[in-house]
Amino acid sequence: MRLATTRAILGDLIGFPSVSSQSNLAIIHYIAERLETGGAQVEVMLDESGQKANLFATLGAPRSGGLVLSGHSDVVPVSDQDWSNDPFVMREDGGQLYGRGACDMKGFIAACLASLDTLSAAAQTRPIHFAFTHDEEVGCLGAQSLVKLLAARDVRPALCIIGEPTSMQVYDGNKGCCEYTVCFEGLPGHSSAPDKGVNAVEYAVRYINRLFDLRAELVARCPPGSRFDPPETTLNVGALHGGVSHNVIASRAELNWEMRPINAADMQFVKDAIATYVADTLLPEMRAIAPEAGIATETVGEVRGLEPMDDNAARDLVFALTGQNHAGCVAFNTEAGLFQAIGMDAVICGPGSIEQAHKADEFVTLDQLSQCLGMLERLGEPH
C-alpha cells in the first residue's frame, strides 16, 4: 500500500522538470501541500531571485533534538543525453521506475511523503523535520542558506539523514568539493626582453607547482586509517589557458583547479598555503616589474565534506534502523557536511544507486524504495 503511494508520488515528482537552471517553486509547492495534509508545519523560504525555494517542515511539537530527513528538489539536465522515453514522464519496467531524478533524489522524497502517518507517530518521541533544498547540483546553494537559518534558531535539530542514492548502504563520510578560477594579469612585451615583461603563464605554472608540492604535504597529513579512496585530500589542475604566441610575453593566464578535502582542516591548510605563496612570493615579484600586475582568485564553489567521526548518533540511528554495522565513505559530494558544520550529526543513506544518477534512463527499483520505506517505518519503533 505504502509502496503504491510512493510510486504514485514519485510519478508526480518526476513530472516536475526541476532542472537546476529552472525555478523549483512548482515542485516545492506540491511537496508543501502533501506535508501540510500530513500534519506538518511547513515553511517555504524563497531565495533572493524569488524563483527558488527551500522547504523546512516539522512533525511533532517543536523542540530541539529532532531528526532531519534531507533531500534536494533539483535535478541535473537531460540535454545531450539519449533517453529511451520522455525523462519527465515516469515509466515502469520490470520493477524499475525510470525518469530524471528517480534515484537522485526524488525516490527518497517520495518515500518520505508516503510515510507521513508513521513518521507522525515517530514524532511523538522526537520531532521529525524535512529539509528539501534547491540548487544542490550546482554547489549546494540552497542548503548553505538553510543551515545558516537553522543555526540561528533556538530550537535546533540534532541529527540528519541525507537520502542520496547509496543503495541503502550507510555512509558517514564524503569529501568536500572546492573549485577555484585564478586569473593572472601580467605585462606583455617582446619575447627577446623577458625582463621587461611579466609572463602570466610562468606565474601560473609556479602557482601550479606549489599545488603539486602541497599534494605531497596532504599525503603526509592524511590521518591513519582514513576510509576515503584515495585516502587523502586531492588536488586537480583542470584547465590552464594563457598567452598568444611563441614570441610574445604572455599577459594573461587563467587556471581552473579543484580540491576534494577529507576534512575542514585540510581545506583551510591548502587555502592558507596558496594564499601565503601568492602574497609573499608571486605578487611581490610581479609588481616589482609591473605595479598593475595581479592574481585574482574567484571561488566557484566551496562545500565542505562530511568528516567521519567516531561518535555519530545519526549513523548509529541508521545502523539500528537498517540492521547494518558498517559505514563507508563516498566519493561524491553531498549536503551532509553543511549540517555537520552547524553541530549536527549526519549520515548518508538512500534508495537507488549513484551508478544511475545523472545518466540517461535513470531509475530506482521498487525493491530499493521498499527498503527505504522499511527504514522510515522503523523510526516509530523503540530502538
Q: Does 362 bind Zn ion (CB under 5 A)?
A: no
Show the cell assigned to 231. Answer: 585516502
Interface mask toward Zn ion for 308-327; x: CB under 5 A: --------------------
In the complex with Zn ion, the residue whose CB is nearer, 111 or 286, is 111
- Least separation in angstroms between residue 333's CB and Zn ion is 9
Of 29-37, 99-107, 184-192, 316-324, which part binds Zn ion (CB under 5 A)? 99-107
Q: Which of 70, 68, 62 is nearest to 154 (CA)?
A: 62
Q: Are strands 294-303 and 96-98 parallel, antiparallel or unpaired?
A: unpaired
Whichever of 118 and 334 has its CB closer to Zn ion, that residue is 334
Tell me what percent of the chain is helix, strand and coil, each rounded to the nearest 5: 35, 25, 40
User: How far is 214 from 217, CA to CA, in rounded Å?
Assistant: 5
Distance CA 375, CA 27 (A): 24
Rounded distance, CA 150 to CA 134, Å?
16
Q: Is 33 one of the catalytic residues? A: no
> Of 72 and 250, which CB lies nearer to Zn ion in the complex structure?
72
User: Does 74 qualify as catalytic in the annotation?
Assistant: yes
Asked whether the bond before 267 is cis by omega within 30 degrees of 0, the reply is no
Interface size with Zn ion, residues (CB under 5 A):
3
Give the other-Cβ count within 10 Å of 37's Cβ: 10
Decide the pairing of beta strands 91-93 and 96-98: antiparallel
Q: CB of 83: closest distance to Zn ion in angstroms? A: 19
- List the one residue from 68, 103, 104, 380 that touches Zn ion (CB under 5 A): 104
Which of the residues 74, 172, 202, 361 is marked catalytic?
A: 74
Q: Which stretch binds Zn ion (CB under 5 A): 19-27, 98-106, 122-130, 319-327?
A: 98-106
Q: What are phi and psi of 94, to 5 degrees?
A: 55, 45
Nearer to Zn ion, 105 or 336 (CB): 105
- Catalytic pick from 104, 135, 136, 361? 136
In DSSP notation, 264-293 reads: HHHHHHHHHHHHHHIIIIIHHHHHHH-TT-
Q: Which three cell numbers stand for residue 191?
A: 619575447
Between residues 164 and 345, which has the closer beta carbon with respect to Zn ion?
164
3-state class of 107 per DSSP?
helix
CB of 74 to Zn ion, least distance (A): 9
Query: Which of the residues 166 through 185 are near Zn ion (CB under 5 A)?
Result: none
Report 112-171 residues binding Zn ion (CB under 5 A).
164
Please, which residue, 88 or 332, has the CB nearer to Zn ion?
Answer: 332
Retrieve residue 101's grid coordinates. 531524478
- Name the residue with the smallest CB distance to Zn ion: 104
Q: What residue ranges bind Zn ion (CB under 5 A)?
A: 104-105, 164
Catalytic machinery residues: 74, 136
